Amino acid sequence: MTNKQSSPETLRQSLQSDCSSCFGLCCVALPFAASSDFAVNKDAGTPCSNLRADFRCGIHDHLRQKGFRGCTVFDCFGAGQKVSQLTYQRRDWRQAPETAKEMFDVFPIMRQLHELLWYLSEALEQQPAQEIHADIEHALAETERMTLLPPPALLKLDVAAHRAEVNLLLLRTSELVREDARRKHTGPPIRKKIGGRGADLIGAKLNGADLRYANLRGAYLIAADLRGADLRAADLIGADFRDADIRGANLTGCLFLTQAQVQAAVGDASTKLPPSLTHPQHWSA
């Protein structure tokens, strides 16, 4: 649990998934379809066949080899342990089956709220956006308040409306940070403008591209060649990095990148990430 005195860094640490403190909610609550990401079909509310009695995954160390790549790129932003340990006071859906459906409905709502907390905490660290820090702090406190609501109240939240309000702050943060970075730029001029909100860059050849300060919000970077690309101060919120090759790319100082996006990409030890993110184990496999 967090409070308004927590630093953004401390808050983000609490938003990291801890499967050992969760009731396997992502393995039960969420549906998936047989595809390149999942070996089988599973309905929402149905436990995955690989879920053990202790709520751990029976094939965790071999998910990709067993056809469950989708599991390795999912991140609940700590929502699983919040719902398990706080919202339901450590009473799991097996012990209290009457709470199961409600718990499974609450989980995706909590995940959305925790994802917003991740973005807001990062926005609060951006000094060029200091003029709106008070608004960001207010939004962060309101989002945190929502995460502490009891299940019936959580289920009544208009998360889409709240997300839209938060997005305005995140968009303004992005504009202020990228404008400040461009103003301080002293290197060679950036010759080509690449990207744009929701840009279709599927399979794009961007090896070594200078993408500093680019707006790549929601961009489709599926299987794009970003080897050695410079993505410093680029806005990457919601960008689709599935199978994007970011070996040797520099993503330090980029905006709103998440661990799930990193997990979905192809990288190596030479990929430079923000300090709040880690190199996935499968990169070295």
CATH number of the CATH domain containing 217: 2.160.20
Nearest Cα neighbor of 262 from 284, 278, 249 is 278
pLDDT for position 93: 97
Domain co-membership, 77 together with 211:
no
The number of distinct structural domains making up the chain is 2
**Length reported for the chain:** 285
Give me the pLDDT at residue 190, please: 63
Whole-angstrom distance, CA of residue 140 vs CA of residue 113: 10
85 and 26 together in one domain: yes
10 Å CB burial of residue 127 (0-12, 13-18, 19+) is exposed
How far is C-alpha 245 from the geometric centre of its chain's CA atoms? 19
In a domain, 80, yes or no: yes
Residue 161 counted as domain residue? yes
* pLDDT on residue 272: 98
141 and 224 belong to one structural domain: no
Q: How far is CA 189 from CA 175, 183, 192, 212, in A?
A: 19, 12, 9, 11
pLDDT tens, position by position, 208-238: 999 999 999 999 999 999 999 999 999 999 9
202 shares a domain with 282: yes
For residue 38, the enclosing domain spans 8-178
φ/ψ (deg, to 5) at 8? -55, -40
Report pTM.
0.91
Query: Can you tell me the mean pLDDT for 190-197?
Result: 69
When pLDDT is averaged across residues 54-64 and rounded to a whole number, the result is: 94
Burial of residue 64, with CB atoms counted within 10 A of its CB: 0-12 exposed, 13-18 middle, 19 or more buried: middle
25 and 153 in a single domain? The answer is yes
- Report yes or no on 168 lying in a domain: yes
Assess whether 143 and 234 both reside in one domain: no
Distances (CA, A) of 186 to 183, 211, 285: 8, 15, 39
163 located within any domain: yes
* 85 within domain boundaries: yes
Contact 78, 17 (CB under 8 A): yes
